[in-house]
Amino acid sequence: MSIEAIEQTAARGLSADPLALEADGQGAARQSVTAACLALLRHDLAIAWHQRAGVVASVVFFVIAASLFPLAIGPGLRTLGSLAPGILWVCALLASMLSLSHLFAQEHADGSLDQLVLSPHPLALLVLAKVGAHWLTTGLPLVVLAPALALQYGLPPDDGLRIAGSLLAGTPVLGLIGALGAALTLGTRGGAVLLCVIVLPLCVPVLVFGVGAGLGEAPAFPLLGACLALALFLCPLATAAALRIAME
């Protein structure tokens, strides 16, 4: 309860209700956290726009890698159709790995990561905002391109949309796990290679469930959603703890 708030209330000739004032303070704190997360999200999106070469590289890699497999496998539509979800998912996983090592690198280099760690706002929510900006610039384009790339494998549009739906639910999990790997390898020599060694094994369940969802297997989508819910809860907390350890 704020003393200034009590004085202002008394000056207006009203009774100072401590519960009401405490509720007002909690509401202001929630608005402050929301504003901080939105500001960080806009900041990271602006940086991604000015340094869009990395975003373009991830998208181009995804398109080229997914387009090479039909040329290498041959024109057998049945074979291509059965392999399409797995190929697109593996290509999406590798494309998302390209920019993960830079997720916290710039803030670590210019010292602004210290401000995030020392911020009064929950670090896990700030991490979630950064992961959201990363997904909007690297994950969402892959989801949008997936139906068009699925046509190269002889799949009907409905199957392409199903693969895109599985990527829509699964690529945020890849970003959340990748953020944890980026925090664990922050400032280490050869961090990009070490990041792949840490993150790729953790992404195997997501890859399995995502491919199953792309193939239309009934239990795969709920399991993929469970992975997303678990990652949204655990990964920001673990990433925040890793960042605090890295900055000590």
Top pLDDT among 7 and 242 is at: 242
221, 188 contact by CB (below 8 A): no
Task: Say if residue 7's pLDDT is above 80.
Answer: no
Q: What percent of the chain has pLDDT over 90?
A: 39
For residue 240, the model assigns a pLDDT of 92
Please classify residue 166 by burial: count the beta carbons closer than 10 Å to its beta carbon, then call 0-12 exposed, 13-18 middle and 19+ buried: buried
User: What are the φ/ψ torsions at residue 242 (nearest 5 degrees)?
Assistant: -65, -40
Task: Say if residue 21's pLDDT is above 70.
Answer: no
Top pLDDT among 185 and 172 is at: 172
Map out the domains of the chain as residue ranges.
1-50, 57-246
**Least trusted range by pLDDT, from 46-60, 104-118, 173-187, 226-240:** 104-118
For residue 202, the model assigns a pLDDT of 92
Q: How far is CA 196 from CA 66, 99, 218, in A?
A: 20, 11, 30
For residue 116, the model assigns a pLDDT of 82
The per-residue pLDDT for range 84-96, each reduced to its tens digit, is 899 999 999 999 8
Instruction: pLDDT band for 178, please (50, 70, 90 cuts).
Output: very high
- Mean of pLDDT over the chain: 82
The per-residue pLDDT for range 225-246, each reduced to its tens digit, is 999 999 999 999 999 999 888 8
